[in-house]
Amino acid sequence: MFGTSGIRGPFGEDVTADLACSIGRALATHGAERIVIGRDPRLTGPLLADAVSAGAREYGADVVRVGGAATPTIARSVDWYDADAGVSVTASHNPPEDNGLKLWTDEGMAFGEERRRRIAEIVESDAGEPVAWDQVGTETERPDATERHRAALVDAVTIEDPPSVVVDVGNGAGGVTAAALRDLGCAVTTLGGNPDGRFPSRPSEPTGATCETLAAHVAGTDAALGIAHDGDADRTMAVDERGRFLAGDELLALFAGEAVADGARVVAPVGASLVVDDVVEREGGRVERCRVGDVYVAERASRPGVSFGGEPSGAWIWPNQTLAPDGPLAACRLAALVARAGPLSQQVASLPAYPVERDQIEVDPAAKGRIVDAVARRASERYGETDERDGVRVETDSGWFLVRASGTQPLIRLTAQGRTEDGTVELTETARELVRESLQAA
């Protein structure tokens, strides 16, 4: 039922009003007495939000509705409105025909594995029961949530010499970014600023291919940078002043390097680039690895001494502000970084560059786990110490490689990165060899 980012899939098939109602009931059964509910602009969002609310109130929980809002706004609202849980009705960067449900704790962090497992068990067993007719939960509306998020962003960031910024909202929920940047003194131009769950201006996921209009606009004006969000604005990607779309690892390195100036630790997933390690170590910090998925980044970022966590996919977490990926906060911090440290193109040019190779091997879906387990045994025999938190990650003197099963497709994915081209080629072939040997054994 749950992936690492909640429930997500085609509306009417994987995601239905019946399921949304069951999730509301399950949260109330699990002990949530007050639940915040918000949604991105998808056309099916109001219906699903109504269903979550109906199920929660039927089983005795009170509901606070924040309406259309960015997912980080909803996550922050759990604490603001003294709730026990939150629900974002969103499919994040998926296409418009999809929708989903992401659950938030009272700490503003996505539900971890144990809580997701328990909610799924309650739904599947149909546990719990309705309350008496005169004990059903109440529903109140708090339309001020987005304004509270905007004020929190302005309080968190200072920009001495505000740059000109283009914000590609992509018809999603990220309009709070443009508002906060204007409050911080930036000259802001928006693209796709009108919320529309059909995402007519571009696909919801911000990539180099989908953000060509943003890149051209920035390159053709005096803008210092461009910002792009996905549908619910938990992700932020960027374009430099020349119109070049930045790779996720480049943004991760820039954010991480800034965050460890005081010697703190940062969290990055097992597949993040060597450049992140080099930049963080240069600043006197240390990188801690975690499984792929923003919930795993958040879990590690919640520990003492961690100042930042992020994923190359565009999820950025500053735990002193929020344990949710906050795309608008990332946008404001990036604008401040450009104002303080100079053009993005120059900052990226100062980063070390290491070649990366990626490959994938199609396998029997039922055999994915066995194959990765076999790779782990062989890698351990050959290298001794391996990282098996998410697949198998092996570090060598020349770089690293990662073998992991796709969570959604019948594929084994390989990633290798060396400090030289030859080193990367050698590591890639080593990873392929381990998978081939394991396929034969499986």
Range of the domain at 392: 356-441
- CATH of residue 423's domain is 3.30.310.50
How confident is the model at residue 406, as a pLDDT? 82
Whether 218 shows a pLDDT value over 80: the answer reads yes
| Average pLDDT of the residues in 58-65 | 98
- The answer to whether the predicted template modeling score (pTM) of the entire model surpasses 0.95 is no
Whether 2 is in a domain gets the answer no
Q: Are residues 210 and 157 in the same domain?
A: yes
Q: Which of 349, 370, 401 finishes a domain? A: 349
Return d(Cα 378, Cα 279) in angstroms, integer.
32
Known catalytic membership, residue 92: yes
Whether 54 is in a domain gets the answer yes
How confident is the model at residue 303, as a pLDDT? 94
- Summarize pLDDT for 247-297 with one digit per residue, the tens: 999 999 999 999 987 668 999 999 899 999 999 999 889 999 999 889 999
Whether 178 is in a domain gets the answer yes
Whether 259 is in a domain gets the answer yes
Q: Which of 121, 143, 165 finishes a domain? A: 143
Q: Are residues 368 and 279 in the same domain?
A: no
| Average pLDDT of the residues in 347-364 | 92
Whether 63 is in a domain gets the answer yes
The torsion defined by the Cα of 48, 49, 50 and 56, in degrees rounded to 10, comes to: 110
Q: Are residues 361 and 266 in the same domain?
A: no
Mean pLDDT for the chain overall: 95
- Summarize pLDDT for 386-416 with one digit per residue, the tens: 999 889 999 999 999 999 998 767 899 999 9
Whether 1 is in a domain gets the answer no
User: Which stretch of 154-158, 185-189, 309-313, 361-365 has the lowest confidence by average pLDDT?
Assistant: 361-365
**Angstrom distances, CA of residue 340 to CA of 163, 266, 334, 336, 405:** 10, 21, 10, 6, 41
> In what helix (H) or strand (E) does residue 57 lie, and over which residues does it extend?
helix 45-58
Pair 399, 354: CB distance under 8 Å: yes
DSSP assignment, residue 365? G
SS3 110: strand
Q: Are residues 92 and 125 in the same domain?
A: yes
How confident is the model at residue 433, as a pLDDT? 93
Q: Are residues 56 and 178 in the same domain?
A: no
Q: Are residues 309 and 385 in the same domain?
A: no
Over the range 13-31, which residues count as b (16 or more CB within 10 Å of their CB) and which as e? eebbbebbbbbbbbbbbbe
Q: Are residues 110 and 12 in the same domain?
A: yes
- CATH of residue 33's domain is 3.40.120.10
Q: Are residues 157 and 257 in the same domain?
A: yes
SS3 202: coil
- Selected catalytic residue, list 5, 53, 92, 273: 92
Whether 4 shows a pLDDT value over 80: the answer reads no
Q: Are residues 337 and 217 in the same domain?
A: yes
Return d(Cα 169, Cα 230) in angstroms, integer.
7
Q: Are residues 105 and 166 in the same domain?
A: no
Q: Which of 110, 125, 143 finishes a domain? A: 143
Q: Are residues 18 and 85 in the same domain?
A: yes
Report residue 135's pLDDT band, with 50, 70 and 90 as the boundaries.
Answer: very high
When divided into structural domains, the chain yields a total of 3
Report residue 213's pLDDT band, with 50, 70 and 90 as the boundaries.
Answer: very high
How confident is the model at residue 350, as a pLDDT? 95
Return d(Cα 427, Cα 394) in angstroms, integer.
10
Give the Cβ contact number of residue 69 at 10 Å: 30
Q: Are residues 67 and 179 in the same domain?
A: no
Report residue 442's pLDDT band, with 50, 70 and 90 as the boundaries.
Answer: low
